[in-house]
Amino acid sequence: GISAQAKVAIDKAAEIWSNILVSDVPIKINLNWVNASSLGFLGVCVSNGVKDFPNAPLTDVWYPSCLADAYAGTDLNPNQTDMDIYLDSSRNWYFGIDGNGPGNQFDLVNVALHEICHGLGFYSIANIDFQGIGSFSLEIDPNTSLLASFPIPNLAGKPLIFDLFIENQQGDLLANTNMFLNPSLGLANQFTSNNLFFNGSNATSANNNIPPKLYAPTTFSFGSSVLHLDETDFAPHTDDAVMTPYSSPGEANHNPGPVTVGILQDLGWSIHSTFIIHESENEVLNFHPNPVEDDVCFSFKSNKKQFVELSIYDLQGRKVKTLLKEFMFNGFNTFIWNVDVNSGCYLVVLKSDDVFFSRKMIVK
């Protein structure tokens, strides 16, 4: 039911993820463009799951089927989709792919990126029932089950791979059943504590060595609580705002962000060593990957032919290295650097006739 206009934007979101993820197996998305005005959502994703597959890193753990396929090197469910996504066709959408929509329209690329990311594994089936008991992988909202084109497997309380990284402020892992029975009132208290974090090493490194905070408000909301980044820590229009629970009109982020990509890495996804994302005309400088180990690819926009300097500084403000110092052409320019500095946190600084722009980069 998708319109031609909407398809362009959704294809763009798929292209962005294609430039980031590594898999020999195509990822299958069943997308439904439906009037959901009575239901109140912008988009919903239901992710297919597999456990105990060939080359599975962990037993008795559910993986998104597309990640399981990447590990197995083959399509484990050739007759099933990897994710079902529903987008509300009745919304006032911006269908452009440049991120420059008006302030009264929802950016479709941004929302599609978000829903696809859930299907890639940024996903948990945490729930609190009517008796106030919390659980992982035991109860699924009936409406969610109706949206799936594939048979919902019996998860039997076994954790999703995302669940294994959820911890509280004290560093206690919520999937540790010796500490939090599944189901239990204790889990419900954690789900509504406003103090849950994702403790993966890549995500933490990308977040200035602080485990990124997850969305766990005092009022639980199935499908929002636990499986998003916290809105207060990752404000709209910042790098990782694409995976917060709310998207506002005018908010357009076409870069999944280093913390979001770090979370996917922690789940097990392989990431292209270099990839370029520069969809938004408002983005002055992008570089990926971040954190970086070997090569990093910079892309930056110049509004005219001008002299440009790209440099690396330490956090004390000392210049460590000048990467580029020359005239660049109007439009997007790219530069690949084979990293030759010690591990640590640095500032990437771009200077030109009319721009001074800096952003943190972590070298592993």
Q: Give the pLDDT confidence of 305-317 residue by residue, as tens digits.
A: 677 888 898 876 7
Percent of the chain with pLDDT over 90: 60
pLDDT score of 351? 79
Q: Checking DSSP bridges between strand 43-47 and strand 295-302, what pairing results, if any?
A: unpaired
Percent of the chain with pLDDT over 70: 92
Question: pLDDT grade, residue 38 (50/70/90)?
Answer: confident
CA distance 60 to 103: 46
Average pLDDT of the residues of the chain: 89
For the cut 90, the answer to whether the pLDDT of residue 329 exceeds it is no
pLDDT score of 257? 85
- For residue 240 the two structure tokens come to 């990782």
pLDDT score of 273? 61
Calculate the CA 120 to chain-centre distance: 9
For the cut 90, the answer to whether the pLDDT of residue 13 exceeds it is yes
CA distance 77 to 123: 19
CA distance 210 to 233: 11
Residues 6+ apart with CB under 8 A from 154: none
pLDDT score of 178? 93
- Read off φ and ψ for residue 352, nearest 5 degrees: -145, -170
Q: Checking DSSP bridges between strand 319-328 and strand 306-314, what pairing results, if any?
A: antiparallel
Higher pLDDT, 66 or 331: 66
- For residue 333 the two structure tokens come to 């320019």
Q: Tokens 């926009």 label which residue?
A: 301
Instruction: Annotate 194-240 with DSSP letters as a single string.
Output: S-EEE--HHHHHHTTTSPPEE---SS--TTTSSSSB-TTTS-TTSTT
Cis peptide before 183 (omega within 30 of 0): yes
Question: pLDDT grade, residue 83 (50/70/90)?
Answer: very high
Question: pLDDT grade, residue 166 (50/70/90)?
Answer: very high
What is the side-by-side order of every strand in the sheet holding 331-338? Answer: 285-288, 295-302, 331-338
pLDDT score of 303? 65
Tell me the mean pLDDT in the region 65-83: 97
Q: Give buried/exposed letters for 239-249 (b at 16+ CB in 10 A, else e).
A: bbbbbbbebeb
- 135 in Cβ contact with 157 (< 8 Å): yes
pLDDT score of 208? 82
Question: pLDDT grade, residue 108 (50/70/90)?
Answer: very high
Q: Which of 29-38, 198-207, 244-253, 348-357 has the lowest mean pLDDT?
A: 348-357
CA distance 87 to 104: 18
- 243 in Cβ contact with 256 (< 8 Å): yes
Higher pLDDT, 346 or 273: 346
For the cut 60, the answer to whether the pLDDT of residue 23 exceeds it is yes
Given CA atoms 64, 68, 71, 76 in this order, what sign does their dihedral have? negative
pLDDT score of 275? 43
pLDDT score of 325? 84
